[in-house]
Amino acid sequence: MKESSYSLFMSALFNGRKGSRPPVANPTSIVCHELMDRVGVGFPEAHLNAQAMAELALAGHEVVGFDAVMPEFSVHQEAAALGCQVDWGNRNAMPDAKNFPYEDFSPIHIPENLLERPSMRVVLDAISILRRHVGGRAAIIGKVMGPWTLAYHMAGTQNFLLQIGLGEDEVVHRMLRQLMPVPIRFANAMFQAGADAVVLADHATGNLVSPAQYEKFLLPLHRELTSQIHGPVILHVCGNCSDRLELFAASGVDAYHMEWQVDAKDAVARVGHLISLIGNINNPQTLYQGTPEDVYKQARYAIASGVHIIAPECAVPLATPLENLKAIVAAAHEGY
């Protein structure tokens, strides 16, 4: 009996169990111009309309052949609900926050009706639509921003990191703690709506945050988050995080979605027995500028290294050729 995309993905996510071939998925986004054109749905509509969001996500499975669908293409859904003025972009530009409502680090107000705010409700409704269409056939992945990323959106990245540099630990801890209920509530609502796994995107990136700072400020919160989120969690942190893989593995997440800068063989050797690893095909050089053959070779390297779920390293550039995304699928279908 042929394994479904859903079973391949979920088996790989839990303890890295192997099916007949490695699954292909992107916990962030594979939306590109060609995919928009194929389904007649684009940005900014797909950020704001649940049906459009679901249709574009579904195309990743039905058009490209990925084994999972991920319907949230922006990192600003929660920020908009918390008071950020968001420019929802256009066909060529991703959404961008235009203000930082808590740049003075005043107490953060979390609305009681947080999940009913339009920017968050749309994601939950899209997940419900996907559940009806593809539930049990392809895995459905939700996405929430962690407290570190939300702090960037609330106070501004430079402003927030400046507090760390100035030794204002109490200010940093207070903001992170105030933001904790947001990913917990959103993630659990996603599971109730029909998600099979949720990405925790928390951008304590290697070039901005040291391992010691991650361990001091964020690791305890990630452990709390994973203990209160009622389903599998995939951690996504951008950049070269080779120096903190063991800390990520100790956070309670089920998987880590890693960038190309993290060597696949090294990551698998160090933490592949503790958590599942997802990635790590280079976006700017290989997927965007390379050929299908380049993509195929990099995907086969990840497979040979033991990466559990093969994926682009992050949300792909909007001008990524569709054939390059399909090359990942072709490489995976050759099996182990």
Domain count along the chain: 1
* Residue 111 to residue 119: CA distance in whole angstroms: 13
* Residue 309 to residue 27: CA distance in whole angstroms: 10
Query: What DSSP letter does each residue of 84-112 carry, written as one string?
Result: --EE--BTTB--EE---TTTT-PPPP--T
Confidence tier at 292 by pLDDT (50, 70, 90): very high
> How does pLDDT run across 49-60, given as a tens digit for each residue?
999 999 999 999
* Residue 318 to residue 91: CA distance in whole angstroms: 8
Statement: residue 2 has pLDDT above 90? no
Residue 260 DSSP label: T
Statement: residue 1 has pLDDT above 60? no
Q: What is the mean pLDDT of the chain?
A: 96
Q: Containing domain of residue 12, as a range?
A: 5-98+107-333
* Residue 131 to residue 139: CA distance in whole angstroms: 9
Listing from the earlier edge strand, what are the strands of the sheet with 233-236?
Answer: 68-69, 139-145, 197-201, 233-236, 255-257, 276-281, 309-312
Statement: residue 144 has pLDDT above 70? yes
Task: Give the CATH number, domain containing residue 177.
Answer: 3.20.20.210
What proportion of the chain, given as a percentage, has pLDDT over 70?
99
> How does pLDDT run across 261-291, given as a tens digit for each residue?
999 999 999 999 999 999 999 999 999 999 9
Residues 6+ apart with CB under 8 A from 269: none
